[in-house]
């Protein structure tokens, strides 16, 4: 948990669960140049994000390099109850991946 790149907070309010997630990732577009060497910094960004509620897909995202560094993502799920599980996983363009889950509060 401590080393995960993902932080998830899910809270029920008025029957709707709001999920907020933060991911630690450089999200390098591949368009920037290193100021010292003048070389282009290679692209390194998350391409696919999958969010699940109790093991079922709710939101899936396809991202380009134009999502900000250390991406923030928030969405709403109807009918999620306290104690339910919200999980998030990502895959970047280098094939690296990570996933984590959080309990609805």
Partner 1 sequence: MNMKRRVFLKGSLASGMVAVAVGAGLITPRQVLAAWPKEAFEAKNVNDAMKGIVGAELAPASDAIKLDAPDIAENGAVVPIKITAEMANVESITIFAEKNQTPLIASFNFSGNAQGYISTRIKMGQTSNVIAVVKAGGQLHSARKEVKVTIGGCGG
Residues that bind partner 1 (CB under 8 A): 16, 27, 29, 31-33, 47-48, 53, 56-69, 71-80
State the minimum distance, in angstroms, from the CB of residue 103 to partner 1: 17
Burial track 45-71 (b if 16+ CB lie within 10 A, e otherwise): bbeebebbbeeeebbebebebebeeeb
- We find the least distance from the C-beta atom of residue 88 to partner 1, in angstroms, to be 13
* Of 1 and 55, CB closest to partner 1: 55
H or E element in which residue 73 lies: strand 72-78
- When the beta carbons of 3 and 37 are compared against partner 1, the nearer one is 37
Task: Please state the separation of Cα 51 from the chain's center in Å.
Answer: 8
* Nearer CB in complex with partner 1: 8/53: 53
Q: From CA 80, how far away is CA 102, in angstroms rounded? A: 13
CB of 37 to partner 1, least distance (A): 14
Closest CB 3 distance from partner 1, rounded Å: 23
């Amino acid at each position: 948990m401590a080393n995960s790149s993902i932080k998830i907070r899910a809270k029920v309010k008025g029957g709707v669960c709001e999920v907020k997630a933060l991911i630690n990732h450089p999200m390098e577009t591949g368009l920037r140049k290193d100021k010292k060497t003048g070389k282009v910094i290679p692209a390194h960004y998350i391409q696919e994000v999958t969010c699940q509620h109790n093991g079922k897909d709710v939101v899936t995202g396809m991202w380009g390099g134009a999502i900000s560094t250390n991406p923030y993502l928030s969405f709403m799920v109807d009918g999620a109850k306290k104690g339910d599980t919200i999980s998030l996983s990502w895959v970047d363009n280098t094939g690296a991946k990570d996933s984590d889950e959080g309990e609805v509060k």
